[in-house]
Amino acid sequence: MLYKTSYSLQAELVDHDGAIVSSEQLARKLNGLACHSDSVLNYAELPIAEECALRGGYPRLVLDDKGRLTMAVEVDSRRKLTRKELGDLRADFEGQLTDGIGSGCFDVLTVSTGLCVQLRFPLRPKCTQTEGMAWRPKATTKKGNERRIAAAAKLIENLDSTPTRLAASERATAHGTTAAAPPGKQKKPNLKKLFRLLAKPERNQLFDQIKAELEVCGDDLSSVGDGEYPNGNLSDPKLLRLLLKAGLPVETTDAKGRSLLIQAAGNPKCLELLLKNGADVNRVCDSYFATTALIRAANLGIRKSVEVLLEHGANPSIKDKSGKTAWQVVDKRSRERQTIVGLLQSRSPKSSKA
């Protein structure tokens, strides 16, 4: 006989501007969205994990009996857990879900819709133990996820269609054909649709759409703050130039805490463009990895990017959160690995080469 332990926390959907998206219809569309590639058991520090043969642990978005969105996890064991063991399991899962795996495992939703999943505070966890088997991914899980996300994206596009269109008078003002609005009455541009376009993997092929949406927003990105820019890498100088021209602050970080320079580490021309506009070449970003653009470029194994950063004063001695410098994380699959390592070590103090 197997015993199933179900653990859940209330969740909510948040847009790029930090606003909570309250939509019962959207929640229903996402009901059942699952992380099929990662389990909390992969990171759990539970002495009973092997002894009880714990299985499952894949986070899902589930509606509770009151129709509220929750982040749920189920595991099963070959014996009933004691109260203390349930307490340990609950504490471990809560720590993981609030510290990254909860939001990170739904990145695919963010890429397609621009929405992020976050837990609702104060936390009100529910933990129950019954007989049964825990939910685990099936062959159809990936297709089910794709169907749910596509339905959510379509719904969001419909919701966005009205607010992102400026009235004729507002559009004229944005293009300078009428007098500016009185001080204190200027509206902050609605960037939701623009950010969703920028969050798409094919963003570089959507240049015309992005440009058109920028015009609708008055070509004004000066109000974008840290953590508001979508996740993703900047790999098209044409697109980056358009965004900077519209006022995107050069030191803006994305929703994961990475600077524009770190996002552009894969494209030397983008790096040069940002550095010419005053980006801090040695800025340490990303709350999880505590990395720099140089460390990121080395990790990608792109020699030209490493050279550009070094030419602009990048410090190869800076260490990431794991204590490694750029030359220690160079992609082993890169054909130019030895060249990159040599470049970095030649610019590093002797003490850092040990």
User: Where in the chain are the domains?
Assistant: 3-150, 221-353
Q: What is the pLDDT of residues 39-98, one digit of tens each?
A: 999 888 899 999 999 999 999 999 999 999 999 999 999 999 999 999 999 999 988 887
Q: Across the chain, what does the average pLDDT equal? A: 85
Indicate yes or no: pTM above 0.85: no
- What number is the average pLDDT over the span 311-316? 95
- Is 122's pLDDT higher than 50? yes
Confidence of residue 22 (pLDDT cuts 50, 70, 90): confident
Confidence of residue 169 (pLDDT cuts 50, 70, 90): very low
Cβ pair 30, 152 in contact under 8 A: yes
Q: What is the pLDDT of residues 218-259, one digit of tens each?
A: 899 998 988 888 877 888 999 999 999 999 999 999 888 889
Which of 32, 57, 180, 55 has its CA nearest to residue 109?
Answer: 32
- What number is the average pLDDT over the span 321-342? 90
Query: CATH for 221-353, among 1.25.40.20, 1.10.3720.10, 1.25.40.340, 3.40.50.2000?
Result: 1.25.40.20
pLDDT value at residue 330: 93
pLDDT value at residue 179: 38
